Amino acid sequence: MSMKRSDYAKQVGVTYQTAGQGWQAGQVAASQLPTGTSMVREVHGAASGVALYARVSCADQQEDALRQMMQRLRD
């Protein structure tokens, strides 16, 4: 399955120009139609990581926040 380069750029969070530079550098699997439209082949990769983010209002809460985050990660 393919998508337009502009749609690909939006999906991965880069500009249209950056997606084009990735294509020219061989980092993005794409082809160009006779009309000039760039089509990018969709790549479905599995999630490879986890991100946790927390804020505390004062330094004394830092240990509690860390403990809660680690528990949620284990769950």
Predicted confidence (pLDDT) per residue in 31-50, tens digit: 989 999 989 987 666 566 77
The yes-or-no verdict on residue 68 having pLDDT over 90 is no
Q: How far apart are CA 28 and CA 19, in angstroms?
A: 7
The answer to the question of residue 29 being in a domain is yes
Give domain status of residue 10, yes or no. Answer: yes
Q: Is residue 52 part of a domain?
A: no
Evaluate whether residue 26 is within a structural domain: yes
The token pair that represents 16 in the structure block: 């249209």
Q: The domain containing residue 34 runs over which residues?
A: 2-41
Per the structure, the count of domains in the chain is: 1
Q: Is residue 20 part of a domain?
A: yes
Q: The whole model's pTM is what?
A: 0.53
46 domain residue, yes or no: no
The average pLDDT across 13-35 equals 91
The answer to whether residues 3 and 10 touch, using CB atoms and an 8 Å cutoff, is: no
Look at residue 20 and tell me whether its pLDDT is greater than 70: yes
Q: Which residues of 50-66 are buried (b: 16+ CB within 10 A; e: fewer)?
A: eeeeeeeeeeeeeeeee
